[in-house]
C-alpha cells in the first residue's frame, strides 16, 4: 500500500524502472508511445470518449481483429478533443531513459497523479506486451513518488530530471530528444526575447511558471543543469538524492 498521499497544488517526483532493470523503451516508437501517453491521459476523459473523438465507437470496435490494429488515428480530431479537456496534473519536467522514466508533477485535481500514472502505465504495458510478445509486468512494481517539499528541492530536481540521461552517462542532456530540456530551453528563449510561447497548446509540459522564473535566460538554465549533472556524479553528499540506479 502506498504511504504517500497526493495533495492538490503540491509537487512530486515520480519515477519507475523496467522490471529487473531491463530496457522498456527499445525502439523510437516506444518512446513516442510513452510521450503521447503523457499528453493523451492528462485528463478525466474515458477511453470511449477518445475513441468517439476520432470517429470510432467502442461497442462496435473489435480489438481482437487484426484490422483493428491498422486503423489510422485522426490525430487532428484527437488533438481538438484533448484541447477541450481539463488537465489533472501539470507536467513540470520529464525524461524518458531506456529503462526508467522520471516526471515532476503538480497535482491539480483530487487523485490526479494516481489516475494519470495508472492510465499512462497500463496503456504502455499493454502496448509493450503486444508489440514484444511479452506478458506480465513491464514496470518494477508501483511507481515511486517523493513529495517535493521546498522550492530549493524543486529547483534541484528540475536540473536533475532534465540532466538525468547525462547523469547516467548514456547521452548528452542538451540534445537528448526524450526529455523536457529542449522545450524549456526554447520557452526561456522566447520569454527572454519577448516572443509568444514556444509551447503549443498540446504540449506535454504545463505549469512552467514553476520553472521559467528561476532562470533569466536559456544559457543560465543550461549552466544550472550542467552544475547538477556534475554534482550528481561527483559529490558524495548528493548520493541520497539519486533515487534510482540503472
68-105 in b/e form (b: 16+ CB < 10 A) is eeeeeeeeeebeebbeeeebbbbbbbbbbbbbbbbbbb
Model confidence, pTM: 0.88
- pLDDT tens across 32-70, in order? 999 999 999 999 988 788 778 777 765 554 544 444 445
When pLDDT is cut at 50, 70 and 90, the band that residue 98 belongs to is very high
* Architecture category of domain 11-44+86-241 in CATH: 2-Layer Sandwich (3.30)
When pLDDT is cut at 50, 70 and 90, the band that residue 30 belongs to is very high
Q: In this structure, are residues 178 and 35 in contact, taking their beta carbons and an 8 Å threshold?
A: yes
- For residue 76, the model assigns a pLDDT of 79
- pLDDT tens across 185-241, in order? 999 999 888 888 767 777 899 999 999 999 999 999 999 999 999 998 887 555 555
- For residue 245, the model assigns a pLDDT of 52
Mean pLDDT of the chain: 87
For residue 157, give every residue at least 6 positions away whose Cβ sits within 8 Å of its Cβ, in sequence order, or none. Answer: 13, 93, 104, 148
| Percentage of residues in the chain having pLDDT higher than 90 | 65
- For residue 68, the model assigns a pLDDT of 47
Query: Strand order of the sheet with strand 100-107?
Result: 89-97, 100-107, 11-15, 144-148
Nearest alpha-carbon partner for 129 in 30, 46, 42: 30
Dist CA 7 CA 11 (whole Å): 8
Amino acid at each position: 500500500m502506498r504511504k504517500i498521499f497526493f495533495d492538490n497544488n503540491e509537487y512530486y517526483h515520480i519515477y519507475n524502472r523496467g522490471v529487473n532493470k531491463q530496457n522498456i523503451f527499445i525502439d523510437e516508437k516506444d518512446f513516442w508511445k510513452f510521450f503521447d501517453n503523457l499528453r493523451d491521459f492528462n485528463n478525466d476523459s474515458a477511453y470511449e470518449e477518445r475513441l468517439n473523438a476520432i470517429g470510432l465507437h467502442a461497442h462496435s470496435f473489435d480489438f481482437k481483429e487484426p484490422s483493428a490494429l491498422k486503423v489510422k488515428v485522426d490525430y487532428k480530431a484527437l488533438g481538438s478533443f484533448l484541447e477541450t479537456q481539463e488537465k489533472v496534473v501539470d507536467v513540470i519536467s520529464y525524461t524518458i531513459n531506456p529503462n526508467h522514466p522520471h516526471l515532476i508533477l503538480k497535482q491539480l485535481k483530487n487523485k490526479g497523479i494516481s489516475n494519470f500514472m495508472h492510465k499512462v502505465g497500463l496503456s504502455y504495458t499493454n502496448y509493450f506486451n503486444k508489440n514484444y510478445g511479452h506478458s506480465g509486468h513491464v514496470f518494477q512494481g508501483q511507481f515511486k513518488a517523493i513529495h517535493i517539499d521546498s522550492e530549493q528541492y524543486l529547483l534541484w530536481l528540475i536540473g536533475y530530471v532534465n540532466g538525468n540521461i547525462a547523469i547516467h552517462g548514456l547521452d548528452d542532456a542538451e540534445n537528448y530528444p526524450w526529455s523536457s530540456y529542449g522545450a524549456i530551453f526554447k520557452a526561456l528563449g522566447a520569454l527572454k526575447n519577448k516572443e509568444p510561447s514556444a509551447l503549443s497548446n498540446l504540449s506535454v509540459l504545463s505549469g512552467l511558471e514553476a520553472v521559467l522564473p528561476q532562470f533569466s535566460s536559456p544559457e543560465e538554465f543550461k549552466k544550472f543543469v550542467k552544475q547538477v549533472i556534475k554534482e550528481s556524479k561527483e559529490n558524495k553528499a548528493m548520493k541520497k538524492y539519486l533515487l534510482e540506479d540503472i
